[in-house]
Chain A
Amino acid sequence: MSIKILFEMFPIALMFASPIIIAALGGLFSERSGVVNIALEGIMMVGAFSAATVTVLLEESTVLAPWLGLAAGLVAGIVFSLLHAVASVNMRADQTISGTALNILAGGLTVYLCQIIFRQQRTRAFSNGIQKVTVPLLEKIPVLGRMFFIENYPTFFLAIFLVFFTWILVYKTPFGLRLRSCGEHPQAAASMGINVAWMRYFGVMASGALAGLAGGIMVLTADIQYTLVTIHGTGFIALASLVFGKWNPFGVLGAGLFFGFSTALSFYAKDITFLASLPGEFFYALPYVLTIVALVVFAGKSVGPKAAGQIYDSGRR
């Protein structure tokens, strides 16, 4: 593989990686608090729809429209994820079923609203999504400058910031310790005076905010409008990154970058001699195959939160 192609791949790989990383961080908050969230896909759809809609409706009045769109995606993600929180915390629903319901609901609701607002099964196309930036000074750094700071989407820097932010919040603060304790042994956490229900609400809402934001980023960088297939399984790849990254923010970063590159590779494979013979479908399927392999390799080692997926019953010991 020539170095030139590798450099060319960076912006596109980072574009795909950013929403994966951010949504996976969302999953991390939720699962660390003890709520399995397979609704990341659905939340991303809601976030993407909201972001695209706000961008389209505001772009004539302000140049900040895409950024307001991202904010809308984040808020919509929180609101939508509340359904999951109510169902799994208050109503003791099976978290997998509730997540599945949210995924179905997202597909229906977003396209329904597209039909109401735009009279078609997709949003209107926006003329400008988020613009690429070149960072002054940093672009001059040899090698690194070309990889990260020339003509890249600023949302990648946001993803990196969120990785560090999550790491500090979850691993370096008392709050993070309490959050994680709810995902390991909620009864023990409750005995120390931690409000498990509140913590789990926080976890799910944080996942809603991040997955909603990720959906917004995805539609505003990789697409021109929201359609039913805008997210096309990225939420599940985010879920896979969470597993692949062992429920750890830096692991998630690594896994997200890896999956971002494997997506980008499917576009460039035809230019790379030893990959040209492989079909595009091979690269599309790769993240999913690798995740299964990772699951088998980690099997038996307790890497994920122990109580994730369990309904919290204060009477159990």
Chain B
Amino acid sequence: MTKRREKILLPLLAVLLGFILGSLIVIATGRSPVAMFAAMVKGFSGLDIINDVPWNTRYIGEFVINAMPIILTGLAFAFASRTGLFSIGAEGQLMVGSLAATAVALLVQAPRFIHLPLVLMASILAGALWGAVPGFLKARFNVHEVTVSIMMNYIALHLNNFVILNIFGSQDKVKTAFFPETALLKSPFLQSITRGSRLNWGFIPVILALVVFSFIINKTTFGYSLRAVGYNKDASRYAGMKVNRNIVLSMMIAGAFAGLAGSVITVGTFNFGRAMSAAEGYGFDGIAVALVGGNEASGILFAGMLFGMLKSAQPLMQSQGIPREIAGIIQASIVLFVAMRYGIKMLLERFKKQQAVTADGDRA
């Protein structure tokens, strides 16, 4: 297998294995895998392949809504990965991004063309700052970024809850007041063409983020030096690259993508700030997206849509009597299979060799 083909085929194999495993679990627990796959098709296309009901475009809108934030958290994980860093911090960066968006949305009064960009910028900045902490500690003290970013996730959760519950005069125990229209990504036009889904302009910053990611990584000297640090820290240092600065910047940019995801959810999908009892898993979804997408913008787009589809199929599965959590099971097993790709490759090669040997034996 060539490198390029391998990079596409192994994740596809992992996805296939994940779906097979998911189907087996569904069968083992006495449910119908056909209904599960029908729910998935309806989840992204709105087409019902079992029942004779009219095409419902609302599902397309909800599918895009589900894909948007996890594409961004996928970019966040992938960006840090390219510098050889493993950031589990997207969850927390997203949360502080969402908190910053909430603050600016509620506290600033301005026309939409100023207010909305301010909201988005605030979330990007907050995410970047939150990402800078593990980056700085890694660069300055060589503290492992995995542990620090896990801890930062929980700190973000409690910070978010504290601020939402105490500062913005919450309506009830979980929500802030509604945001003014000027802070929202909402679009009556997009809603009307998708039969009242929550589809909004959020996909524009998402596309921009994909382009920016691809541009920085592939087309700039900075991106090249980031990748160099990812491949070999010592060689990069010897070549005169500022390794520590690159580590901090990489974590900050990764955090910026995740922070943006926070505002896409908060002023796009919702229109109020929320206190949460636990993280919602967008950060972990992002890890799955980046791994399946091979840390490349195009791959992340497709993987984000794949997992977005699984998410939007969840309520449909539930209504078919298949517990919605099967989506998480499939996603987790895909991640596990992608993680095991080296071992899977070895097994495949051994299998091929054996076949070659038996084929030789048959001829003789």
Contact = CB atoms under 8 A, between A and B. Distances in A.
Nearest to B133: A292
B17 interface: no
Contacts of B340: 87, 91-93, 98
A141 interface: no
A94 interface: yes
B326 interface: yes
Contacts of B137: 292, 295-296, 299
Contacts of B291: 97
A296 B141 contact: yes
A44 B287 CA distance: 21
B258 to A, nearest CB: 16
Interface string A46-68: 00000000000000000000000
B233 interface: no
B127 to A, nearest CB: 18
A288 B151 contact: yes
Interface string A103-132: 111011101100110000000000000000
A104 B284 contact: yes
Contact of A103 (B141, B143, B152, B284): B284
A229 B328 contact: no
A97 B335 contact: yes
A58 B152 CA distance: 40
Interface residues of B, number: 48
A101 B325 contact: no
Interface string A225-266: 000110011001001100100000000000000000000000
B246 interface: no
Contacts of B158: 281-282, 284-285
Interface in B213-259: none
B150 interface: yes
Nearest to B143: A295
Contacts, number: 143
A291 B331 CA distance: 30
A36 to B, nearest CB: 8
B332 A92 contact: no
Chain A binding surface, main DSSP class: helix
Query: Which residue, of B148, B166, B332, B338, has the highest number of chain A Cβ atoms within 10 A?
Result: B332
Interface residues of A, number: 45
B77 to A, nearest CB: 10
B38 interface: no
Nearest to B287: A100
A237 to B, nearest CB: 8
Contacts of B147: 239-240, 243, 291, 295
B106 interface: no
A13 interface: no
Contacts of A296: 137, 141, 143
Contacts of A284: 154, 158
A91 B142 CA distance: 28
Contacts of A240: 147, 151
A299 B143 contact: yes
A209 B151 CA distance: 24
A300 interface: yes
A104 B159 contact: no
B59 to A, nearest CB: 22
Nearest to B330: A108
A97 to B, nearest CB: 4
A108 B311 CA distance: 12
A127 B143 CA distance: 45
B144 interface: yes
B162 interface: yes
B161 interface: yes
B325 A111 contact: yes
Interface in B317-364: 323, 325-329, 331-333, 335-336, 338-340, 342-344
A82 interface: no
A107 B328 CA distance: 8
A10 B344 CA distance: 50
Contact of B144 (A94, A101, A295, A300): A295
A285 B159 contact: yes
A115 to B, nearest CB: 4
A289 interface: yes
A38 interface: yes
Query: Which of A96, A98, A288 counts the most B-chain CB atoms under 10 A from its CB?
Result: A288
A243 B148 CA distance: 11
B114 interface: no
B178 interface: no
B287 A112 contact: no
A104 B327 contact: no
Contact of A98 (B146, B281, B284, B336): B336
Nearest to A107: B328
Contacts of B331: 104, 108
Contacts of A289: 151, 155
A96 B281 CA distance: 16
**4 nearest A-B pairs in the assembled complex, by CB-CB distance:** A91-B343, A108-B328, A105-B332, A115-B323
25 contacts: A87-B336, A91-B339, A91-B342, A91-B343, A92-B340, A100-B88, A101-B332, A101-B333, A101-B336, A104-B328, A105-B329, A105-B333, A108-B326, A116-B29, A233-B154, A239-B150, A240-B147, A281-B159, A284-B158, A288-B151, A289-B151, A292-B151, A292-B152, A295-B148, A299-B137
Given A295-B143, A299-B141, 19 more contacts: A83-B336, A87-B339, A87-B343, A91-B344, A97-B338, A97-B339, A104-B288, A104-B331, A105-B329, A105-B332, A105-B333, A109-B325, A109-B329, A111-B323, A279-B162, A282-B158, A292-B133, A292-B137, A292-B151
